[in-house]
Structure 1
Amino acid sequence: MFNLDKFIADFVTNRPVSMFAKDIEVNKKSLTAEIKGRKVCVIGGAGSIGSSFVKAILRFEPTSVVVVDLNENALAELVRDVRSTEGLYCPDEFRCYTLNFADPIFERIYREEKGFDIVANFSAHKHVRSEKDKYSVQALIENNDIKAKKLMDLLTVYPPKHFFCVSTDKAANPVNIMGASKRIMEDLVMAYNQYFKVTTARFANVAFSNGSLPDGWLHRLQKKQPLAAPFDVKRYFVSPEESGQICMLACILGNAGEVFFPKLDENQMLKFSTICDEFVKAEGFMKVECSNDSEARLYATNMSYESDTYPVVYFKSDTTGEKAYEEFYISGEEINMTRFFALGVVETTTRRSMLEIDTFFTELENIFKSSDFTKTEIIEAIKRFIPNFKHEEKGKNLDQRM
């Protein structure tokens, strides 16, 4: 039987145990003191990273956990997962709500609860493919930035002791609008450190996270469809468990304004095609490398269920927003690599005043009010706010790939 967690450990992260296990053990007393008996709110908590954060923080016995997510089915699975895991603490008050954090009902929950000790926001458009046209770009920025600002304003009513908002490695020297939106988000939330402690984390791809390319291979296999991957894109990877742990460590142990990232060496980067090769073998097949999508689809259609071969197609990346390499920090940021065993910390970085934030957000909202605004207008506005935003329009997006 295929074991996904073992496959990730053996062939993706090459780590039998979490890279953050030692940091968690060393800081167990501090983590317990800050989490045990506390009220926790997790926004976007049914996604891959959010649900891993929930499970990481439950081990330290909070008194109540409220989880908010738009994905009703994923929330149901989170509850089943938590209640089916041996040894995982689940408080009597474990509540899940299917709603948008920008909805009035969330504001009502927050005010009537009189806030939470710990608030973590994982609600975001996370895919490079989120950038297609002006409509998808507006939706991306509305969710990652404009609604996030509304949330931050609400939190000032009953300030949490710890607030965390997930970022991405793509926020460092961004080349796509998703990454740029996360950099904007970083500047936005950090401006609120004057009201409560804010931390964030930039980290690598989460192996087989919901909607990711590797996760798609699991679905393609179930449907007897070919597997596809770029042969020229190298990325850092962490396991789903590690993704929740890095967020918990940043949220609880970070100082105001800090950005956390995993200590990963360049030689730990992997090509998607290399992982796909191992995935095909782990599933008991020999790969048949096809020259194009049509050939791969035809092979899969004619393949019997008893076949010991499986079609793959590898391609050169040519879509808008793909970054040649990943990075966790940029020139001018003050980095500390010694505080933790497996975590680096951006302790000082350039931040914006609330006036700069408000001015930029007003500009964005005015652009969106126009009936004939363009994607180019949005890109140019972002470039004025983030001068190192190097966007290259290639005229093709990931939705045009198999």
Structure 2
Amino acid sequence: MLIEDKTDKNRELAFIATGRENSIFSEDMRHFEGQLTDKLKGKRVLAIGAAGSIGSATISVISGFEPSALHVIDQNENELAELVRTLRSSSGGFSVTDFRTLPLDFGSPATRLFIHDQSPYDFVLNFAAIKHVRSEKDSFSMLQMFDTNLLKQARLLRWLGEAQFKGRYFSVSTDKAANPSSFMGASKRLMEHVMFSGEAVKDFGAEIVSARFANVAFSNGSLLQSFPRRIEQAQPLAAPIDTRRYFVSMEEAGQLCTLAAVCAPDQHIVVPKLSPDEHLVLLEDVAKAFLEHLKLKPVIFSDETKAVQATSLLRGTGSWPLLLTPLDTAGEKAYEEFVANGESAVDGAFAALSVVKYKSAASGSIGRLINSLEDLFAAANMSTLPQQIDKDQLKELVAAVEPSFLQTYKASAKTLDSRI
């Protein structure tokens, strides 16, 4: 009963952001059900960084098609435990014979040893990422982002190549990779190049697919997830003013990744068919709708101090402060897009998804990028005092592969850590 209540609550919250009671991918899930069953039943699946919102939603979908092995790697031990409890409490039952969770860093020697210890996988899905624009506040955080999103992925591909992996490799991307305005978006665009280009590992021999998609409503670390927490902690809600975003539910995110990982054509990026006129929503409207869902009337503030002070004054009155802030922090995009300049999306075989053919970077540029980043990290590990790296150097590394980043990057002295 509690599980059903939690599921119903998640659907209610998702409806606030998406306005949809049913998944937009329901038709595709029905259409591809036979193919999903044929390709997943009895197969071996490795999911990396899959204890978070998107990964766990995808694992939930895949587990229903009865793979013979389902192995999940994630450094977050607490979320791994929660994933196990959720799957084993599923009302539909859980019938994966070889189910394992491992609290590993996917770029560590332990992961390489584990991959070589196992029989080759049929599917490898990678959800591990530093995925927030908030995380590019300084060069140190950005180096960690590049290490996680680029170098560790290159390392993982090499290890899979060593283990004779010949199945399908999927790594989740983001809408922010299309014409990136942030280093985070740029790192995910470079991630696409690392996985598709073949320059991380020669003669890989696997099919490779990815997906870019919208914000996942009330997912871990998201602005919307902060809304119920702010209420619980008697703090104001906050949202950027005049800012529109696309949203999918966690159920839709899991279905999208499953369809992409299993059914999308090789060397393609899957994107949802979301219309600006129909599906873009104002973040401030979502915040207002959330408060109204709790039977609270939003009181608008533009000053952070006044909004914080108003919380205690408004508590118990049926009203709640909502702080609206300008969109003037580094890397924040005023609008979302899934297809970059020079790319084109085609319908393919899906009803609610389009596919984008991977557009390659200049030959050799990805190999040089990987080598440059590896040299930076090797120098930082030397016994002599390391040379500091600044944002301009990292921007030049990105621009060597994506020259347009010099124009599309949105610079600002302000970061999201300067906001509530």
Residue of structure 2 in register with 1:364 after alignment = 373
Residue of structure 1 in register with 2:340 after alignment = 330
- 1:188-229 C-alpha deviation (Å, 9 max, x unpaired): 100238521110001011111100001011111111111000
**What is the one-letter code of the residue matched to 1:374?**
D
1:175 aligns with 2:181: yes
1:255 aligns with 2:276: no
DSSP-derived class of the 1:149 partner: helix
Q: Choose the corresponding residue for 1:315, options 321, 325, 332.
A: 325
More displaced stretch, 321-330 vs 87-96: 87-96
Q: Contact conserved, 1:203 with 1:328, CA < 8 A, in 2?
A: yes
Q: Contact conserved, 1:288 with 1:309, CA < 8 A, in 2?
A: yes
Residue of structure 1 in register with 2:94 after alignment = 89
**What is the one-letter code of the residue matched to 2:418?**
Q
- After TM superposition, the score normalised by the length of structure 1 is 0.95
- 1:374-393 C-alpha deviation (Å, 9 max, x unpaired): 11111122112101212132
Residue of structure 2 in register with 1:296 after alignment = 307
Q: Choose the corresponding residue for 1:49, options 31, 50, 54.
A: 54
Gaps of 5+ in 1: none
Report the alpha carbon displacement of residue 332 of structure 1 after superposing the two structures with TM. Answer: 2.6
Percent identity (aligned) = 37
DSSP-derived class of the 2:91 partner: coil
What is the distance in 2 between the residues matched to 1:204 and 1:290? 28
Residue of structure 1 in register with 2:105 after alignment = 100
- After TM superposition, the score normalised by the length of structure 2 is 0.91
What is the distance in 1 between the residues matched to 2:14 and 2:233? 25
What is the distance in 2 between the residues matched to 1:114 and 1:92? 15
Question: Could you say what the CA RMSD is over the residues aligned between the two structures, in angstroms?
Answer: 1.7
1:287 aligns with 2:293: no
Residue of structure 1 in register with 2:418 after alignment = 400
Q: Contact conserved, 1:39 with 1:63, CA < 8 A, in 2?
A: yes
After superposition, residues 31-50 of structure 1 pair within 5 angstroms as 31-50=36-55
Q: Choose the corresponding residue for 1:26, options 26, 31, 40.
A: 31
What is the distance in 1 between the residues matched to 2:346 and 2:306? 50
More displaced stretch, 120-129 vs 3-12: 3-12
DSSP-derived class of the 1:200 partner: strand
Indicate how the Cα distance of structure 1 residues 343 and 375 shifts in structure 2: closer, same or farther if over 3 A, else same.
Answer: same
What is the distance in 2 between the residues matched to 1:237 and 1:335? 19
Q: How many residues were matched structurally? A: 400
Q: Contact conserved, 1:187 with 1:352, CA < 8 A, in 2?
A: no
DSSP-derived class of the 1:243 partner: helix
DSSP-derived class of the 2:410 partner: coil
Report the alpha carbon displacement of residue 28 of structure 1 after superposing the two structures with TM. Answer: 1.0
Gaps of 5+ in 2: 380-385
What is the distance in 2 between the residues matched to 1:190 and 1:48? 25
**What is the one-letter code of the residue matched to 1:382?**
V
More displaced stretch, 379-388 vs 190-199: 190-199
What is the distance in 2 between the residues matched to 1:120 and 1:34? 14
Q: Contact conserved, 1:199 with 1:256, CA < 8 A, in 2?
A: yes
DSSP-derived class of the 1:156 partner: helix
Residue of structure 1 in register with 2:240 after alignment = 230
Q: Contact conserved, 1:55 with 1:88, CA < 8 A, in 2?
A: no
What is the distance in 2 between the residues matched to 1:173 and 1:291? 30
Q: Contact conserved, 1:119 with 1:160, CA < 8 A, in 2?
A: no
**What is the one-letter code of the residue matched to 2:236?**
P
Q: Choose the corresponding residue for 2:394, options 355, 378, 383.
A: 378
What is the distance in 1 between the residues matched to 2:15 and 2:314? 29
